[in-house]
Amino acid sequence: MSLTFAEFRRANVLRSVETFKRNPKGNRNMVAFALGMGEETGEALGAVRGFTGITKRKKGKISRSDIGHEVADSFFYGDLVVACAELLTEDVLQEKYNKTSERSGSPYRLKGGKLYRLDGRGKLRRA
């Protein structure tokens, strides 16, 4: 079975509170989580640079898995920032995906956790 956003949020918040003593409530922790997300995003960029050979000293030392782990770290922090804002990650992702699709002219939309495509008459059809 796949991991749901709800179960991920539950696990992420519990670990943050119990292990790191950071409750995803309030502006102070939101700033700390956002800074962590930025740091981890930088590490993900560094991993990509190493994997692709842009950073010569890291070429051949970075794996695809390393890239995935750094992106995941950024996502963990991003979810905690969203939790501080009292929002659900799945709602935010779906809303932003749809706004970007509309702005870019893409026919794809997410609705209720499902992928849809606009047909020629502007009606949503399951993709």
Same domain, 80 and 65: yes
CB atoms within 10 A of CB 79: 24
Is the pLDDT reported for residue 107 higher than 90?
A: yes
pLDDT tens digit string along 58-77? 888 999 999 999 999 999 99
Question: Containing H/E element for 118?
Answer: strand 114-118
Please compute the mean of the pLDDT values over residues 91-111 and round it to a whole number: 97
Q: Which residues, 6 or more positions from 73, have their beta carbon under 8 angstroms from its beta carbon?
A: 40, 43, 44
Same domain, 23 and 59: yes
Domain range enclosing 60: 1-87
Same domain, 82 and 100: no
Percent of the chain with pLDDT over 70: 100
| Number of domains into which the chain is organized | 2
Is the pLDDT reported for residue 26 higher than 90?
A: no
